[in-house]
Structure 1
Amino acid sequence: MKIALIIGTTLGGAEAVADELQPVLESAGHEIHYGLDFDPQALLEAPFWLLVTSTHGAGELPENLLPFAHWLETQPDLSQHRYALCGIGDSSYDTFCGALDLLDPALRSSGATPLVDKIRIDVQQIDLPEDQALSWLTGWLDRI
């Protein structure tokens, strides 16, 4: 299956997590469109989207994810698409993984359907964010 691996990052943490998830998805036989840049055609061709994002500032999307968010607002029907959300953040902030709270309602209002519950990864935990994301992914990968 074609999967769009969408990354929202400011300092590279979400990109590092996505870099670990990509080979797992590929080894499961999926074709991955990986990118930090917004490519609407690739998104429309991929029935499943995996979004890995950090949160910027006071609960905002990283700058590179803004074109995607604006595009979502103009899409009349994305009901043929499913998605999963992985947030990377620091729980000492009151806007911990706030980007997920912006993306999830936007995706749902466009008709896209979540495949699994989103994960909020706390960089303050002992386990590496990459390990937490891999554990989450392998728990539902066979459902794609």
Structure 2
Amino acid sequence: MAKIGVFVGSVFGGAEDVAQDVITQLSSNGHTAQLYLDPQLDDFLAYQNDTIVVITSTTGQGEVPDNLLPLYVALNDQFPLMPKLSYGVISMGDSSYGEDRYCGAGRQFDEMLQQLQAKPVAERLDIDACVSFDALEAALPWLSRFLKQIV
């Protein structure tokens, strides 16, 4: 089964709640899953031959939350190519803030991971708070498809 790191960017706890449930689902499917609420570059690099999931809300003008920002900056600065890394991104946002800001943090992470040559397991999931009151309910179908793709 897969070794999966779940890296969370959360402001008010919504992304963290989704991540806790994702960890439960991954573990109940036989995978080894670790949650990172204050992720560091070394934590992330430990998975460069495995699988990661980034679950993040979006702040302000489409920015990465403060707890995930140091990792994002470190990856961007050091730019470690990771062609063996498989990944998925669950991005949470509010479309009423405008298309350029909506799910901006997840979009930024997805784009950077692609530039680092990581391979997406599934297309990024954008969860709109204007449409989905329960983010976990919106994430479960995506997670089901994700689980079918990982070994």
Identify whether the pair has TM-score above 0.5, normalized to the shorter chain.
yes
Letter in 2 for 1:29: G
Give 1:97's match in structure 2, choosing from 84, 99, 103.
103
Give 2:88's match in structure 1, choosing from 80, 84, 88.
84
CA distance in 2, matches of 1:9, 1:15: 6
Root-mean-square deviation (Å): 1.4
Map of 1:110 onto structure 2? 116
CA distance in 2, matches of 1:34, 1:64: 13
Deviations 1:77-100 (A, max 9, x none): 211101101011111111110112
Identity of counterpart residues, as a percentage?
Answer: 35
* Counterpart check, 1:53 vs 2:56: yes
Map of 2:17 onto structure 1? 16
Letter in 2 for 1:49: I
Letter in 2 for 1:9: S
Task: Kindly indicate whether the alpha-carbon contact (under 8 Å) linking 1:59 and 1:96 is maintained by their aligned counterparts in 2.
Answer: yes
SS of 1:62's partner is: coil
Q: TM-score, normalised by structure 2?
A: 0.89
Q: Which runs of 5+ in 2 are unaligned?
A: none
Give 1:75's match in structure 2, choosing from 70, 73, 79.
79
Question: CA 1:13–1:111 in structure 2 vs 1: closer, same or farther (change >3 Å)?
Answer: same
Q: TM-score, normalised by structure 1?
A: 0.93
Q: Which runs of 4+ in 1 moved over 4 A?
A: none
The aligned length equals: 144
Deviations 1:6-33 (A, max 9, x none): 0001111111111111110001111111
Task: Kindly indicate whether the alpha-carbon contact (under 8 Å) linking 1:89 and 1:123 is maintained by their aligned counterparts in 2.
Answer: yes
SS of 2:67's partner is: helix
Q: Which runs of 5+ in 1 are unaligned?
A: none
Deviations 1:34-73 (A, max 9, x none): 0211133332232101010000110100011111112212
CA distance in 2, matches of 1:21, 1:72: 24
CA distance in 2, matches of 1:32, 1:126: 26
